[in-house]
């Protein structure tokens, strides 16, 4: 089995941090559904401002709120306004790689979706693997 990216929220801004909450990251369900991220699923979070890298699980917040709230210990790694990358992962057999098409969302400063992209793996004329980023809009 190989661990690969399943979906990604790229450049979403932190809207809050709640140290007293019992852990996780709270995200807008609309964003999660578009990227294929489930509630209670573990995600990796990379802070583009500080370089911090953490792992936690997802809680769905208010639909349409565009929220990205770090909770519990994760709240110490980010400040409101920081740009983060949030990615889930999946395990696949190597022969499934070409059939997996992870969704990648990029964001405007107000956390509205800027672009809907996808990752695509295929083969070139010599049968070698190739990687492309494709527009989903």
Q: Which residues are catalytic?
A: 24, 57
Selection from 57, 4, 2, 66 nearest residue 34 by Cα: 66
Give, for 32, the enclosing helix (H) or strand (E): helix 29-35
How far apart are the C-alpha atoms of 108 and 127, rounded to whole Å?
38
In a 3-state reduction of DSSP, which class is residue 104? Answer: strand
Give, for 45, the enclosing helix (H) or strand (E): strand 42-47
Question: Max alpha carbon distance in the chain (Å)?
Answer: 55
């Amino acid at each position: 089995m190989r661990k690969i990216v399943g979906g990604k929220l790229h450049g979403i801004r932190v809207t809050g941090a709640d140290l007293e909450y019992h852990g996780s990251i709270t995200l807008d369900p609309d964003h999660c559904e578009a990227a294929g991220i489930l509630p209670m699923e573990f995600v990796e979070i990379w802070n583009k401002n500080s370089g911090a890298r953490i792992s936690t699980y997802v809680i769905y917040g208010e639909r349409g709120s565009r929220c990205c709230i770090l909770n519990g210990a994760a709240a110490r790694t980010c400040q409101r306004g920081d740009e983060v990358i949030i990615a889930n992962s999946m395990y696949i057999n190597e022969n499934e790689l070409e059939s997996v098409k992870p969704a990648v969302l990029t964001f405007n400063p107000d956390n509205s979706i800027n672009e809907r992209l996808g990752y695509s793996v295929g083969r070139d004329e010599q049968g070698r693997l190739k990687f492309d980023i494709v527009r989903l809009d």
